[in-house]
Amino acid sequence: MEIEKEVKKITLGHEIGAGAACLKCKDKCEGFELHFWRKICRNCKCGVEDHDVQLENEENKKVGKLFEDTKYTGLIAKLKRDGIPSYRGNQVTICIPDATISTASPVPAASFIPGSSQSSIPSAHSAHSQPAGATAAPAAAIHSPSAAPATSRTPGTGRTAASVPGHSVVSSAAIPTKVPVAATAVVPAPTPVPAKTDVVKSVTYEWAPPGVNQCLALQYMELLPPERRPIAGTAGADYRKKQMAKQLPDHDQDPERCHELSPGEVKQMQQYVRKYKDEALGVGDITLPEEMGQQAGMAGERGPQGLRAGGKPGAGTIGTPGDKGDAIATMGKVGTPGAAGTSPAGPVGNFSCHRCQLPMKKGEPAVYAERAGYDKLWHPACFVCYTCTELLVDMIYFWKKGQLYCGRHYGDSEKPRCAGCDELIFSNEYTQAEGHNWHLKHFCCFDCDCVLAGETYVMENEKPVCKPCYMKIHAVCCVACQNPIEPEAQRVSYGEYHWHAEPQCFQCSCCSKCLVGQRFMAMQGMLLCSVECKKKIMAS
């Protein structure tokens, strides 16, 4: 029974996504089948991120393990069943009012009857009569039945305006207190009038900055390149998925995800993981430049407003896993444009973006990295990896020597990475070939996995291939003799046509003159030495 459990545990990783279609190769791939030690599909050689594999739970577990035993434990939760830490991906649905114009018909006003208590609603165009003794109604915003009046606060002030954009306002002075009583009041027939209707549009982000209100989160998203915004069902969401797999490889943190590590290598890897969790790993925070400026003098006491409690990300209250459509509760006071202490957009203090050096603007969200210190801020679109310049997925960064790195390129700066299995090399012995590093046993043919030590190989698309596989799969055929051209043989290529650079193959198709080192003409795969030979071929 125990043996069966172990076998299932070993094969589960290869069962994930089995048979999933390749998004790049389409029908050319028979379906995803994970290579037994490379991180690619055995059928088409593409990565798992290029296949239609739903890995949300696996990705959440991977990032959950990354944050385990760190100050960011507030961003993860333990699953009830097995206790595995899982990342809380903070999916947020933001509702955005979208004003549209529609047509509404007013309700006909009732006729006034002398001595009755009926009253009419004053319109924006004319003031109707009221019964004797009736008092004037207070000032009111005139609007369509479908649009309720709203109170709006002017950004940056404490004043409140009772008017609603697009609606008329009637002052109390325009309504008489007493008017002569008429037997009947003639009311004109109702006519359609344009009315403003508020339509709420919801946008679901598969990830949004945790710990801030929706206003600031939405501002942050709008400052990202449109094609990089993780809106559900868009290219931005696919981009985030691929970057999650690329920037945070699980085999860079979990020895169980690596292939055949020795006990000594496992220990070295555990020490490496502990080191980057203590010294480099961080999660960016959203703050406002003016609030950062207020807190810069208290750097030793507490973090800036807008950080999680105590300046330690993850220490505040986080929404429960699985919450959909609600933003995570704010942790600490987060300023918003127009709040007290802020002013209209403009340069603030001496703060400039650490990457582009352009000044930060008041009221615009900036990214703060705790490990970088209080004197550094980034524009949302500038919070990228120093090596690959890609947006740091979910703002997860690694800080080293004054620069931000994604997990992959931080690992590359610490250890050599095997070009065969994509894992970091913790052994003292490894191979360097073709500008890459390789585990000794992983410098293999990319097609058949035979070891290439001491063997002839060919680099095909930056991948080593043994000679038999090259001749069978990759070699081009000579137009003259129809045989594959060996990798070490000299050849002549012209467009899509190839020849052995030998007299018996590279010769005139008309007079058989050797053309090696000579001028020639090519016509539909035929070689011709002169215009005369061309005419003969065309005449025949």
Residue 532, pLDDT > 50, answer yes
- Domain assignment present for 525: yes
Measure Cα distances from 476 to 188, 224, 507, 512, 517 in Å: 88, 46, 18, 23, 21
Rounded mean pLDDT of the chain?
74
pLDDT of residue 82: 67
Please write the tens of the pLDDT for every residue from 33-66. 888 888 889 888 888 778 877 767 778 888 999 9
Residue 536, pLDDT > 70, answer yes
Tokens at 531, concatenated: 């215009």
- Domain assignment present for 399: no
- Domain assignment present for 282: no
Looking at per-residue confidence, does 187 or 366 come out higher? 366
Distance CA 442, CA 436 (A): 12
Please write the tens of the pLDDT for every residue from 467-496. 999 999 999 999 889 999 998 899 888 888
Q: Among all chains, which residue has been given the structure tokens 């081009």?
A: 476
- Domain assignment present for 70: no
- Domain assignment present for 125: no
pLDDT of residue 81: 59
Percent of the chain at pLDDT exceeding 70: 66
Tokens at 194, concatenated: 């344009």
The helix/strand/coil state of 436 is strand
Please write the tens of the pLDDT for every residue from 370-420. 999 988 999 999 999 999 999 999 999 999 999 999 999 999 999 999 999
Gyration radius from the chain CA atoms: 35
Q: What is the CATH number of the domain that holds 529?
A: 2.10.110.10
Q: 503: phi > 0 → left, psi -120 to 50 → alpha, else beta; which?
A: alpha
Measure Cα distances from 180 to 114, 119, 433, 496 in Å: 11, 14, 103, 99
Mean pLDDT of 268-274: 96
pLDDT of residue 38: 87
- Domain assignment present for 107: no
Residue 44 belongs to domain spanning: 8-54
Residue 291, pLDDT > 80, answer yes
Mean pLDDT of 267-276: 96
The helix/strand/coil state of 190 is coil
- Domain assignment present for 439: no
pLDDT of residue 5: 41
First to last CA, the chain: 79
Tokens at 394, concatenated: 């979910």
pLDDT of residue 493: 87
Looking at per-residue confidence, does 94 or 251 come out higher? 251
Q: Which helix (H) or strand (E) holds 52?
A: none
Distance CA 427, CA 406 (A): 23
pLDDT of residue 53: 75
Domain endpoint, select from 34, 54, 74: 54
Report yes or no on whether pTM surpasses 0.75.
no
Q: Which helix (H) or strand (E) holds 497?
A: strand 497-500
Are residues 533 and 511 in contact, defined by beta-carbon separation less than 8 angstroms? yes
What one-letter code names the amino acid at 331? M
Highest mean pLDDT among 6-15, 88-97, 114-123: 88-97
Residue 497, pLDDT > 70, answer yes
Question: Comparing 63-77, 94-108, 454-468, which segment has the lowest mean pLDDT?
Answer: 94-108
Mean pLDDT of 253-265: 92
Report the number of distinct structural domains present in the chain.
2
Mean pLDDT of 219-235: 94
Please write the tens of the pLDDT for every residue from 133-169. 433 333 333 333 333 333 333 333 333 333 333 333 3
Q: How confident is the model at residue 80 (pLDDT cuts 50, 70, 90)?
A: low
DSSP 297: G
Mean pLDDT of 245-250: 94
pLDDT of residue 66: 93
What are residue 477's DSSP bridge partners?
484
- Domain assignment present for 387: no
